[in-house]
């Protein structure tokens, strides 16, 4: 075996060991989100492919909202990945909530890997129209 082949084989073995270690202690993936606001609250849409409703965790602690879910991607028995960046792991992302939001009335839905959160504003934070009466 040549030195180049031995080096390649050694690097390949190191890469395989590093990949296994990374799968075990892989950092959480940060899901992409879109956030929009209207007069009544905020809508947050997060992409969580491979997450299920049963394992999705939404927690509010103080003024922090945390989204966390394990990733469960289905693999075909007939196909074997040659290269895959996302094999397993978890999603995790936290947001600091405004004091104008009513965290006790958050509405959440998950459909086809897309999480939609509706965070309503507190009544006193909603814009209101003041009627001007004739004097």
Closest to 65 in 3D by CA, of 33, 38, 39: 33
| Residues above pLDDT 90, as percent of the chain | 47
Across residues 23-37, what is the average pLDDT? 82
* Mean pLDDT taken over the chain: 80
Look at the chain and report how many structural domains it folds into: 1
Q: What is the pLDDT of residues 57-87, one digit of tens each?
A: 999 999 999 999 998 777 777 877 788 776 6
CATH of the domain at 105: 2.60.40.790
pTM over 0.75: no
Across residues 84-100, what is the average pLDDT? 84
* 57, 77 Cβ separation under 8 angstroms: no
Within-domain flag for 10: no
């Amino acid at each position: 075996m040549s030195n180049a082949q031995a080096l390649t084989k050694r690097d390949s073995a190191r890469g395989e060991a590093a990949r296994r270690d990374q799968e075990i202690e892989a950092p959480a993936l940060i899901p992409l989100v879109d956030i929009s606001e209207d007069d009544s609250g905020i809508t947050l849409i997060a992409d969580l492919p491979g997450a299920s409703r049963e394992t999705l965790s939404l927690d509010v602690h103080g003024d922090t909202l945390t989204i966390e879910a394990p990733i469960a991607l289905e693999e075909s028995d007939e196909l074997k990945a040659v290269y895959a960046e996302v094999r397993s792991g978890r999603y995790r992302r936290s947001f600091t909530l405004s004091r104008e939001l009513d965290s006790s009335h958050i509405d959440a839905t998950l459909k086809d890997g897309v999480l939609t959160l509706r965070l309503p504003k507190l009544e006193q934070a909603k814009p209101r129209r003041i009627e001007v009466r004739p004097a």
